[in-house]
Structure 1
Amino acid sequence: MSKPIDLNNGISLIDIYDLGLPKRTGSYVIHDEELTVVETSASPSVPYLLEGLKQLGLKPEDIRHIIVTHIHLDHAGGVGLFLESCPNATVHVHPRGKRHLADPSKLIQGARAVYGEKFDKLFDPIVPVPEERLQEHEDGSQLTLKDRELTFYDSPGHAKHHFSIHESKSNSIFTGDTIGVYYPDLLEFDEELVLPSTSPNQFDPEAMLDSLSRIERLEVDAINFGHFGQSTTPELVYKQMREWLPRFLEVSEAALVEQKSADLEEQTEAVKSALFKLVSDHLDQLGVPHEHKVYQFINMDVDVCALGIVDYIAKVKS
């Protein structure tokens, strides 16, 4: 596995090889007397997280805080398993997500319905977090560490159980999926690409843009994405989100008009194709070859985005 990345100000990024892929999902380590980890990904990523900590010279029993931005399994599915190695840690979670970490039965049921036979390989095991080791954070609440302060901001749009966390020493923010997915492999083409993450079933574009505006008002110096890495050009991130999100909706609505008599599966496939063409046309303009590794991520992401947009449009029209 790759070495942890030093992001300065006592923050490191560990690549935890979600889905077995490099630069897909990351865990952030805040080096403080009260050692803190942000995001764990799914359980198959936990060995990579533990190895990353070892490479940093850190012991899991020294971790005091584990934070998950939201409870989607690619961010929090492994928190219960990871907690078994962290006897002195508390798990910090959005109020809407707390009960699902204590009793993940609904998360498991929902994921099995979507992923079927792939579930075990992707997510198993999903271990409950003991109630007494969970701490929820309301909007604006703070966690004071030894030499920095973490402030939790409710940030819906991607999910209602999502918060973003401002870190005072670096003046950066951990945004999970709220303001998009970052594709560091495109930096070789001098492109910082950020695309919206519109996954089902709580996607809300207006709430997403409201969350973006709220983060923008914090005037942070860097954005730490769940997928994957850090951008030190926040204004570019905000600009891209405001450009891509309406375009995602526009091409999706057009695709659905053409497929209005089709079933749900065909409608979703049509939206996925429209989103893929929109993004691939942009990458063509940058000179990114179609066999480039970034397309592995683009394919997965537009697939999930299509599901969320079709679900959202159906709700709006109902």
Structure 2
Amino acid sequence: MKKKDPIKFSDRIHLIDGFDLGIPGRTGTYVIEEENLTLVETGPSPSVPRIVEGLKDLELDPKDVRYLILTHIHLDHAGGAGLLLKECPEAEVIVHEKGKRHLANPSRLIEGARAVYGDSFDQLFDPILPIEEEKLIVKEEGDTLEISPDCTLKFFDTPGHANHHLGIYDPVSNGIFTGDTAGIRYHQTLDYGVTFYLPSTSPNQFDPEEMKQSIQRFRDLKVDHIYFGHFGKTDEPEAAFNQVVEWIPKFVEAGEEALVNGNGIEGVKNRLYEKVNAYLRELQIPDDHPVYEVIQLDIEVCAMGLVDYLRKKERNR
């Protein structure tokens, strides 16, 4: 197991790399050091040993963790929650009201992920353990959570990527934990002086209008920082929001073009890849850069979500 030290963003916020999908800098767990030690996201179960190791690197005891906050229940963000609770027995899990029952009984989560990931499922996500209901705390729009006398987190209902999605505002840093609603931060091209952002349109609750509305809510908070589910922090929130909002209609258009021509998911994937590749070539990112492998993985899942959204839209006409 490759060792990677937690990333320090401030004296109170660190990020532990979970090496999701075996990829560095893909998905992480945020550590908020307050009176009540709080983690945001758990990643999938294979990331749990890295979280435990990262906490020890920070000289923190997993048994002191008080809250595990999940932005949403997709397995790359929350699949490891049940397993991590075994290491953090005093912790309670914060989740959107629409996600609670799926954490208590993850059978549908497992079924949906197996449909997307097929034979790779066990390696990427197993085991997914149920969480006792008394450990689950629901947060809704406008709810708060005091994690110290000096810090009360605030929760926002932020659909668009998923209907069970929470945004979490941290008043101390004036930052927002956006999960996947405000897109993905591609930091892999920093060696070329470039960071870029794309929407995440994975199945099966992607909605472009809701996503744009949720991003506008984030904008209205006038935050100084965005803490992304994938991956890390930006101190230029407007630039990130602008890029994702500009790409949303381009993603939908790629889906519509492919379906009109009868090309299906493969056609959507190819069109998306062409659009993103052309953009990166304009930024002088060479064709053999490792970022393309990450993008290819993301686009496969995004294409499924776009097709699902457009077919639902067609049925509802």
TM-score interval, normalised by the smaller of the two chains: over 0.9
Question: Quick check: 1:44 aligned with 2:41?
Answer: no
Alpha-carbon distance in 2 for matches of 1:156, 1:247 = 19
Question: Matched residue of 1:84: which SS?
Answer: helix
Alpha-carbon distance in 1 for matches of 2:119, 2:281 = 35
Q: Which residue does the alignment assign to 1:262?
A: none
Give yes or no for contact 2:37–2:67 (8 Å, CA) kept in 1: yes
Give yes or no for contact 1:9–1:169 (8 Å, CA) kept in 2: no
Alpha-carbon distance in 2 for matches of 1:18, 1:39 = 12
Give yes or no for contact 2:255–2:310 (8 Å, CA) kept in 1: no
Cα deviations across residues 159-199 of structure 1 (Å, max 9, x unaligned)? 00001100010000100000100011122222221100001
1:9 CA drift (Å)? 4.9
Give yes or no for contact 1:223–1:231 (8 Å, CA) kept in 2: yes
Alpha-carbon distance in 2 for matches of 1:252, 1:117 = 26
2:20 to 7, 18, 21: 18
1:128 CA drift (Å)? 0.6
Question: Matched residue of 2:87: which SS?
Answer: coil
1:115 CA drift (Å)? 2.3
Alignment of 1:233-272 (within 5 A): 233-259=236-262, 266-272=263-269
Question: Quick check: 1:309 aligned with 2:306?
Answer: yes
Alignment of 1:122-137 (within 5 A): 122-137=124-139
1:293 CA drift (Å)? 1.2
Give yes or no for contact 1:199–1:306 (8 Å, CA) kept in 2: yes
Question: Quick check: 1:92 aligned with 2:89?
Answer: no
Unaligned runs of 5+ in 1: 260-265
Give yes or no for contact 2:188–2:195 (8 Å, CA) kept in 1: no
Q: Which residue does the alignment assign to 1:217?
A: 220
- The residue type paired with residue 312 of structure 1 is Y
1:297 to 294, 298, 304: 294
Q: Which residue does the alignment assign to 1:263?
A: none
1:102 to 83, 101, 104: 104
Q: Which residue does the alignment assign to 2:55?
A: 53
Alignment of 1:135-154 (within 5 A): 135-146=137-148, 147-154=150-157
Q: Which residue does the alignment assign to 2:285?
A: 288
- The residue type paired with residue 42 of structure 2 is T
Q: Percent identity?
A: 53
2:201 to 179, 195, 198: 198
Alpha-carbon distance in 2 for matches of 1:244, 1:189 = 21
Alpha-carbon distance in 2 for matches of 1:117, 1:234 = 38
Alpha-carbon distance in 1 for matches of 2:183, 2:30 = 17
> How many equivalent pairs are there?
312
Alpha-carbon distance in 1 for matches of 2:196, 2:83 = 33
Question: Quick check: 1:75 aligned with 2:51?
Answer: no
Give yes or no for contact 1:9–1:170 (8 Å, CA) kept in 2: no
> Runs of 4 or more off by more than 4 Å in structure 1?
none
Aligned-residue RMSD, C-alpha: 1.0
Q: Which residue does the alignment assign to 2:271?
A: 274
Cα deviations across residues 282-308 of structure 1 (Å, max 9, x unaligned)? 111111122211111100111111001
Alpha-carbon distance in 1 for matches of 2:103, 2:64 = 22
